[in-house]
């Protein structure tokens, strides 16, 4: 998976928003497809106009749970947004996830000003779902 730092650096190289959208689509193409058995109602993210699934895996072997995520969408740009969100949160300790604001990265990239309200709401729903999973894993630990 592409790191958040690499995505930010690549975005900085692109001046035109058409190029940035193409880059998001390309990120989505690099996202490993979610297996059909993971496309469940439980993994479906509510509040997204497109279909979005996020599968959460929790590793309890360390001092604190570490969460990893896989995701997918039926829309090209949204797949890129899923990839960006997963790069921010995946393979991180639950407490760090609960206190990390993905919208700060979206703001830094200028995405908050260029996403439709519907897509912004979908991103917020995805982030809230991930943070809820992190909080739940802390309670279960």
Spatial contact of 77 and 24, defined as CB atoms under 8 Å apart: yes
Strand partners for 67: 58, 92
- Check if 83 is active-site: no
Rounded distance between C-alpha atoms, residue 81 and residue 86, angstroms: 9
- Residue 10: name the closest of 77, 99, 108 by CA: 108
Annotated active-site residue in 7, 48, 66, 83: 48
Question: Which residues carry out catalysis?
Answer: 48
């Amino acid at each position: 998976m592409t790191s958040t730092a690499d995505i930010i650096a690549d975005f900085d190289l692109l001046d035109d928003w058409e190029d940035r959208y193409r880059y998001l689509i390309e990120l989505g193409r690099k996202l490993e497809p979610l297996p059909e058995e993971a496309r469940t109602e439980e993994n479906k993210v509510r509040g997204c106009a497109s279909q979005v699934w996020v599968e959460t895996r929790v590793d309890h072997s360390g001092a604190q749970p570490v969460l990893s995520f896989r995701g997918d969408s039926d829309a090209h740009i949204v797949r890129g947004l899923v990839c960006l969100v997963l790069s921010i949160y995946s393979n991180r300790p639950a407490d760090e996830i609960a206190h990390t604001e993905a919208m700060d990265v979206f703001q830094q990239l200028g995405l908050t000003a260029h996403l439709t309200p519907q897509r912004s709401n979908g991103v917020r729903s995805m982030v809230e779902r991930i943070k809820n999973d992190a909080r739940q894993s802390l309670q279960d630990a």
